[in-house]
Amino acid sequence: MNQMRATVVQDNELSVRSVPRPEPGAGQLLIKVQRAGICGSDLHVRHHSEELNEVVSEIGYTTAMRPDQEIVLGHEVVGSVVEYGPGTRGRWTPGTSVTALPVLRTDGEVHMVGFDVDSPGGFAEYCVVQEAFTFPVPDDVTPDQAVFTEPLAVALHAVRRGAVSTRRPAVVIGCGPIGLAVILMLKAQGVRTVVASDLSPARRALAVRCGADVVVDPRESSPWDAYRQRGPVGSLTDYLSFGIDAMQVVRRIPLLPWEKVLLNADRLGQSPTGPVVFECVGVPGMLEQVLTAAPLHTRVVVVGVCMEADTIRPAIAIHKEIDLRFVFGYDPAEFARTLELIAGGKVDPSPLHTGTVGLDGVAQAFTDLEDPETHAKILVAPWA
């Protein structure tokens, strides 16, 4: 069996080893990895794979990694085509640069690339991907750009789920890699006012480079005071007072069908509404902070993954009529659209790219990424 070099995690430790090169199965192809991105989820599962296994097992995914297994991480991957497995169409000639959704189906079982012993990831010289989920990289897009397709697709999905109109302010809480990606996608979708909040000076600087219109240090100023919006209402009493004023006005006008006017006020953007908030931190207590501080009629999109039990007060969200949405992943169309946005120059992921290492540098890169002042996203170049 052919061997390859890979950085593996086992019992929380990272090391470079010689492991069997994966063979493409039915509907799959083997790629030579050009770049792989280190994601925050990679940092997390290094020490918390048991918790991950427990959570995803409850929703039907039973083969996720466990601490004792030797796992090749890396689900953000771009590489060149090497060979095809049986039952494929052979869409692209060998050497073609491609990127893919990190999902494999082997013998009828679905596995997440980089999180499963049966689907090794991209921190290796070679990786297997699913042909149906693979997309060619345009010739003028570099591997350093194309590898951001996966994390930016997560951001595009979050923005689409947030249904942000161009005129409605967006507030991004947390400017780590996923928060920065959300900022990029909000601006790509034409959102006029994006407020970014983070404790880290370095991350706030990156938020500016990604297009944030207003950047705040939450220790010094509130993100809720950093934008102008038509009719924002901060409290229930403010909203009731607005209702009294509105009724006084509409009932003064003879023959006005005021019921229809008020019922259509939301659709016409004339009723008080809050911003769309993207919670990109994912630590206990953060969601409660957002629900407590946000204005009435705010939409909160939860992007940050909190793996621990957390507590919120539903009564707060109820009295503010806050819309709470949770997001995960993306679909193939969003993945393909993201690659198009990168290729067309509408999204520039370069501010997120703060370093590149070979396989021998992955362990140190994991350590470096724990410091928000040092890095945002480090890429792995297995053949460096």
Architecture category of domain 152-230+273-326 in CATH: 3-Layer(aba) Sandwich (3.40)
Q: How far apart are CA 199 and CA 343, in angstroms?
A: 32
Average pLDDT over residues 271-282: 88
pLDDT at residue 349 greater than cutoff 60: yes
pLDDT class for 56, splitting at 50, 70, 90? confident
User: pTM for this one?
Assistant: 0.90
User: Which residues, 6 or more positions from 205, have their beta carbon under 8 angstroms from its beta carbon?
Assistant: none
Q: Is the sign of the CA dihedral 9, 11, 17, 22 positive or negative?
A: negative
pLDDT confidence of 250, banded at 50, 70, 90? low
- Whether the CB-CB separation of 16 and 76 falls below 8 Å is answered with no
Contact criterion met (CB below 8 Å) for 171 and 221: no
Distance CA 189, CA 316 (A): 31
> Residue 363 has what pLDDT?
97
Boundaries of CATH 3.90.180.10 in the chain?
3-137+349-380
46: tokens are 């290094």
| pLDDT of res. 352 | 96
pLDDT value of residue 237: 65
Provide the pLDDT for residue 371: 93
Which CATH class, in words, describes the domain spanning 3-137+349-380? alpha beta
pLDDT tens per residue across span 102-128: 999 999 999 999 999 999 999 999 999
| pLDDT reported for residue 378 | 98
Intervals of CATH 3.40.50.720 along the chain: 152-230+273-326
Write the pLDDT tens digit of every residue in 322-337: 999 999 999 999 999 9
Q: What is the pLDDT of residues 189-214, one digit of tens each?
A: 999 999 999 999 999 999 999 999 99
pLDDT of residue 254 exceeding 80, the answer is no
| Residue 245 C-alpha from the chain's centroid | 41
